[in-house]
């Protein structure tokens, strides 16, 4: 059975801390792994990873994929209260078509 598992389920940190969110997967016909940030409503796209070992970076956020060990991490440095959200990991895994498997998310709370 295809699945995506995220850890931890929730996390409380203080501003300025660095956090690492984990995503492991077992999905046949892997095509890509995506990270999204969800605040109140629609998830917003952060990164898409297709190749192992290549770090994607955007400001204080970065992510990397390990296709041998089947996991990805999302790092956030110097966290701010605006980083508080649910972070979702999804894997695109159905051959020529895009069927996405989502993890349950990590709820990050950054306190002042």
Partner 1 sequence: DGGITQSPKYLFRKEGQNVTLSCEQNLNHDAMYWYRQDPGQGLRLIYYSHIVNDFQKGDIAEGYSVSREKKESFPLTVTSAQKNPTAFYLCASSIVGGAGQPQHFGDGTRLSIL
Where does this chain bind partner 1 (CB under 8 A)? 4, 6, 9, 31-32, 34, 41-45, 48, 50, 88, 90, 92, 96-100, 102-105, 107
Nearer to partner 1, 77 or 98 (CB): 98
CB 34 → partner 1: shortest distance, Å? Answer: 6
CB 107 → partner 1: shortest distance, Å? Answer: 8
Q: How many CB atoms lie within 10 A of CB 54?
A: 10
Q: Report which DSSP code applies to 95.
A: T
Alpha helices in the chain (DSSP H): none
Nearer to partner 1, 18 or 45 (CB): 45
CB 79 → partner 1: shortest distance, Å? Answer: 21
CB 82 → partner 1: shortest distance, Å? Answer: 19
Are 62 and 55 a contacting pair, CB within 8 Å? yes
Query: Helix or strand or coil: residue 106?
Result: strand
């Amino acid at each position: 059975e295809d699945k995506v598992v995220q850890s931890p389920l929730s996390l409380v940190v203080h501003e300025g801390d660095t956090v690492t969110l984990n995503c492991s997967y077992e999905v046949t016909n892997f095509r890509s792994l995506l990270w999204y940030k969800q605040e109140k409503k629609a998830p917003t796209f952060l990164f898409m990873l297709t190749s192992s070992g290549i770090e994607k970076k955007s400001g204080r956020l970065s992510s990397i994929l390990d296709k041998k060990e089947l996991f990805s991490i999302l790092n956030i440095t110097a966290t701010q209260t605006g980083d508080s959200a649910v972070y979702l990991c999804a894997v695109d895994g159905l051959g020529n078509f895009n069927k996405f498997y989502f993890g349950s998310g990590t709820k990050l709370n950054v306190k002042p």
